[in-house]
Amino acid sequence: MSTAPRRVPAALALPAAVAVAFLLVPLAGVLAHAPWGSLAGRLTAPAVREALGLSVVVSAWALLLSLLLGVPLAWVLARVDFPGKPLVRVLVMLPMVLPPTVAGVALLQGFGRRGLLGGALEDWFGVALPFSTAGAVVAAAFVSLPFLVISLEGALAGLHPRYEETAASLGASPLRAFFTVTVPMVGPGLVAGAALCWARALGEFGATITFAGNLPGTTQTLPLQVYLLLQNDPAGAVAVSLLLLVVATAVLVALRGRWLGPAASRTPAAAARDGDAQEPQPGPRDPHPAAGEARAAADADAGGAGGGGR
């Protein structure tokens, strides 16, 4: 059923256009002033290549740390009611709104040599996080973890618990049901959260320079290289900024087109309730029969509930 295009009032269209221009002009400025003629040479300079390699390493380890900690946390927030749950949600979101330098100071007070846990880490395990690559990883994970947790918690909240309950009734342990039923069904949300988490870790600056410093080859990632180049080589700073801009744009475009569209956010149960669930396509045999039966049984229950309602 087609609908006529909605007429946008001028009182709303004009501010909306100004908002788009407000966001677009700085980015267009990067493109307009990029040193296109010497771009390849600037991006392959030894210092930039070193910073790029370190950024990839730091962001990858930050993503791994975020997955190890964030996936269980997202599941607990989505599935378990416990005292203080709103406070935990606030704690998860806090790094997103903290000024980056404040996040770095907080990391120093927590994991620095004289921090709450920093001294114990150094005395017991010989681990000194400040001004080290490991410190850069911790800083990147601290500010990027919320992106993973929030995205995955939303996906888990949209998945009816009947799938996990049915898997448990068929003999699957909670951990097996989580990995064979829950994780595949919230895959789009997990991938989207992981991509946003990685992109945020790749672009981290304030917490890193405050907690880990700006040491070439150790903690000097691409954003810190941009800061350094801006003082001595503004054109080089624009070139590296363009690289980060392209990476961030590519991540968002990929997520919007494949993982964050309307179809990707719908669960099989929702499709069954709407009466438009597609016939299952033949595929390889499920290596976890209990999990496969759980998904089939839960979908059947959802379809029956939807049919009964009609």
Give per-residue pLDDT as tens, 3-12.
Answer: 667 888 888 9
Reported pTM? 0.80
- What pLDDT does 268 receive? 44
**DSSP 3-state helix, strand, coil percentages of the chain (rounded to 5)?**
75, 0, 25
Using alpha carbons, select from 85, 105, 104, 103 the residue that is nearest to residue 94. 103
pLDDT in tens, 194-236: 999 999 999 999 999 999 999 999 999 999 999 999 998 999 9
Mean pLDDT of the chain: 84
Query: Which burial class, exposed, middle or buried, applies to 76 when counting CB atoms under 10 A from its CB (0-12, 13-18, 19+)?
Result: middle
pLDDT in tens, 29-73: 999 999 999 999 999 999 999 999 999 999 999 999 999 999 999
Using alpha carbons, select from 147, 143, 117 the residue that is nearest to residue 129. 117
- The answer to whether 226 and 241 have CB atoms below 8 angstroms apart is yes
